Structure 1
Amino acid sequence: MDCRGLLCGMGNTGSMTSADELNEQYDADGSVTQVPERNDEVHAGESAVAQSRESAVTIPAGTVVLAATPIGNVGDASARLVVLLERADIVAAEDTRRLYDLARRLGVYVNGRVIAYHDHNERDKADGLLDQVETGATVLVVSDAGMPTINDPGLAIVRRAIERGLPVTCAPGPSAVLDALALSGLPTDRFCYEGFLPRKHSERVQYLRTLLPERRTIVFYETPHRIADSMDDLLDAFGPNRPMALCRELTKDYEQIRRGPIGEIRQSVIDDPPRGEMVLVIGGASNEEAEAAAPSTLSVEDMAVLAIDRALEDGLRIKDAIAQVVQEHPLADGSLANRKQVYAAVLKIKG
């Protein structure tokens, strides 16, 4: 592990390695070989830099701190994150195992109490953590990668802290959304982040249709096992010529950015299926495209198709699927479509 500055020579216990230990290395057979000693002036300079960095980080007492963690390259961890991991009274982690692995790779020791804080328990845990904040504790919230609350736990404690009048701050850092946007080559002055695309085909198609008139650059997350289907739906929704970028394994040594029109990127996904988590960046609609794709209500036939897909994918009775679709897609005047008419359209499609 390449350790510099504050992290240099720190073992799993968090204690600093002695100068003598730094001047020794172990051969494969366990014997010790002396290595050249470091220049004292250089070493003193590095120590001063480390101390300066550490002293520059303020640990806010009685505060919730949301801290961004590396999204792929551990070298992107900030000095603030390192010090917060060491000094926070409580660390609320999305996955405690991954937290300890990150700490090990950074060469830091987590001194505070560590608790699991994830999607399934964050609402229940929020007030208990904030009770500790009221007593003066620093509560550090971290997710597996990136900034908490951005498709990760954290929103519940932020909202409750605001409601209770308790301070919340951020230790910023890596962001897959912003990295992908910056690398895409697409306009960055106006963009919208849409999170993960819906998992189910019918919902994904309908969702993408609502974005057809969007003039801003659009950013999605997607997973390897859904990317082929999602690219098919993007092609159907936006056509083959809309520019996009597929960004995978950001900040890692094998980072890859595929840029081009949707049709070309879709073919590349077929020919060379991408691995790892990825970010999709889609160019916004031109004025002509936006006007042509102005939002419109679904026809009875469209609702019938959507209901058939919903019934097949969710294992629903067709009547229950129709009821859901009709409720989700009101007509232009706000009223609901006639279910009997939609059912008749379903029977007609099925022949």
Structure 2
Amino acid sequence: MGQLIKLQDYVSRYEQDIFLYPSRFVRLKRQQWERLKDIWENGDVNNKNSQKDLSILLEDEKQPIIDKIKWIFRLRSKENEDDIIVRDEENEQEEDFGLQFTASFSIRPNSIEELKQQFLDQLFRFQMKWASSTLTEKSMVNHKYYYDEKLKFFLQRFPDTFLVLYNPVFLLKEAPVELEIIMVTPIDVWCISFLEEENHAVFIGSKNRFWSKRYENTEKKILNPLLALNRTEKIIQKLFRLHEIDLPIRKVVLSRNGYIDYQEVPYDVRLVEKRNLDEWFTSLRRLRSPLKHKQLKAAQMLLEYCQTTSMRRMEWEIFDEEKNIE
């Protein structure tokens, strides 16, 4: 399951520490999946005690957030404590804040595939929280993203080590620029532009500003997807050169339900459509490389240039007021 490290201009937990959260997510997913599968295989999915013991995917709000905030503040305020110990305890409490969950199944899955899909759907909602909130900040999420099939495609069908920036907003020279989808793998970076409309539509590519789309007996012009794709690539290239990051950048126009006809396609662009989708998709899924330092460094650099729009959590506002009264 790919990791959503940036969604639009929402605040992301990964921005706080890109070298911590990806490996933590991989570990959490693996542990909780094995635990859930074990319970399912033993027929205890609907057992209340099993549900109570499981810690996955639906955030546990039984302990008021304000109490957790106060606990962390007391740690920070302690005197004569070893800084490393305090920091470790604080990180552990913050992890509890973001990672305590309880799985709940109203209907027992009939197969392992159904179980996997339920697990992934709940994990998707969990990822949305990580991609739109931190301990102190949160962003107002457009609910369309919870039903975005393209977003789910990246998060539910690619390896855990793939880091996804979904239509990120970059802040360059104080001007916001929305880019195409960026996927940072352990060995390269993919810039991806979707070209999907009606099933079996045919897109006729060219070097012009507009392409043609043919569907049944109609034809209309659409904006050339390579324009936004090339802009995304150029921005990443400049940032990589500036920060001396050496990762190949690849470009793909993706049409999972249609066809692309482009006789003189540029050499550095890959067209992926119904006829070769499985080949491209399988080649990426087969990549079993673990997270790499240069990959995380590249992701960290990209996040530094992303715009973030968020607000302080109300719980922190209340806590600040209580602290001032004291």
Q: Check whether TM > 0.5.
A: no
TM-score normalised by the chain length of structure 2: 0.24
